[in-house]
Amino acid sequence: MKVLQIVETAYRATTEEQDDTVIWFAHAMRGAGAELGVLLAGNAVNYVTADQDASGLTLGTWRQSQPPTLAQDVASLIRKDVPVYCVKEDLAERGLLEGKLLEGIVLMSRAQMPRLFGEYDQVWRW
């Protein structure tokens, strides 16, 4: 069974969890043998910008030692043979298309999404 995970809501508790919980979930299921793809849409397209840095958060005497590294987490999924797709129009709307993006990301238009969905047995929209 192949399942496409759609991540559209971005930065959902990423500081507290030190990752994106759905990307993390995909890693964990992949570790259990799942055949997955990930589609980043909406604000979550920001995850493919290579030069983001969430480090340095300090709250009173507390300092975050392991900030989220979302781009690396996505890149790591790709290295585990999980294809990661990203909606081109959503990148363009946010001015990110011209920036430095992660290698291995498959850019696709919204018009191509139905065909992508057809390649998977299930689509989970988070």
Partner 1 sequence: MATKHTLTFVLMDAPFESARTTTAFRLLHAALDRGYDVNVFAYEGAVALAFAKQAQHPNAVHGRDVAQEDHPLSKNWIAALMAHARERGADLNWVNCGLCVDERGVGEAIEGVRRGSPADCWKMAQQSNATLVIPTK
DSSP per residue over the chain, as a string?
A: -EEEEEE-S--SSHHHHSS-HHHHHHHHHHHTT-EEEEEE-GGGGGGGBTT------EETTEE-SS---HHHHHHHHHHTT--EEEEHHHHHHTT-TTS-B-TT-EEE-GGGHHHHHHTSSEEEE-
Q: Which span sits near partner 1 by CB under 8 A: 8-16, 43-51, 56-64, 66-74?
A: 8-16
- Point out which span in 24-32, 75-83, 84-92, 100-108 binds partner 1 (CB under 8 A): 24-32
1 near partner 1, judged by CB under 8 A = yes
Q: Which residues bind partner 1 (CB under 8 A)?
A: 1, 3, 9, 12-13, 21-22, 25, 28-29, 31-34, 122, 124-126
